[in-house]
Structure 1
């Protein structure tokens, strides 16, 4: 399960890249300045996420290949030693050399991701600034309504839709990161929590987008506002669990994935504050 967890995180990076492309195409189609701002926000978070995941991959390599393959000290509470014990115990030197050769081939790709992701974001930011000059707020000025009353509501609606698209991806990313909870032995994580988070977020977003927003149902919007506050409490609790220091006498099950989990929960807290501010 050790390799599967690392593979899952790399797959999440690929999905994030595809989702970013989807957001960019959606901005070009709708020519909406609010969605353009959401695209920039997602791109910024994606750069940080890619850096965190690549640095985490280096931890996986160190745990699986670079450390000694001898049986770990039974008195050690370091999860790296326990993972080595599960993966390979007293491995022969050919396996060591094979692992080192594999890592040497992977290093250029990892460093390329670290370099290209911020570079692509900078290029995208330059392009979006040009799109901002072209789009600006002309879409909102084109409506034949009382501009002083209707335009702020239309802008808030655009911001809410853009934020919901970013919210949905990071909820999906958080649910995916809970999948290996049984493999890595996450303490305090319910067995089917990833399924509940993913299915619940899909259901809420479908009801909110296709009925609450389109039908302008005030009760659903208020219910979503209250649910958002409760969800922020949940992610605040999870942030505390992930960041809580462990005793040296206990196994730290979050040692290998702590930074990715913390990043995702903190991003969801930030997005929750922005979403609530837009709703209010």
Structure 2
């Protein structure tokens, strides 16, 4: 009898252990299936970012069409570093713009402000203390600037809107020619502004051949180059600004051919 009871007890124990093992196996299988199902499901697509709305009133001028702020930086000092073409000084870097501001303002020259580079870094660079030689170079540039008030500014990526038959002109719908808007190089606080340049926002054209060239380019979203010829009217070191009068604008194609040459009336 003892052997029978032990045998029955053993079988009960075996059945209990077997049942527990089967339950664990079933649970493991369920978990594995759920895991595989989750893995098989495609990953949820991230929510698409809303379309960026550009506010022209608050946009940085460095990001606007026609702004010449992305030109190569030329930190060389001295008159030898100034480029001229056909009697016009090419205004193409922050250092030259700074010297022009002081050349036409009544405030003392800030040599440190002229020599310290401008960056977009959070930590500003250490102020540069001018040596005697550097002061001489800056002074020579300022003297040169005073004798050369005629400037040339070359800009790229100019977009034109469709021709307006009633006015016989192509509109420039950006902030290139807006009275009071400031333009600068290399994140510099020194800037130049145009005195009432609104007339150059409409480029007059009546030449049929040129109009066809422009219309085809506009239809294909092609942009243009532009040369702006201006005269210095004054400078203010307190506001770090140079005031210019636009005298002439030349619109050019990619090869440099002049398509429209418009002068102040």
After TM superposition, the score normalised by the length of structure 2 is 0.28
Q: Which has the larger radius of gyration?
A: 2
More strand by share: 2
TM-score (norm 1): 0.26
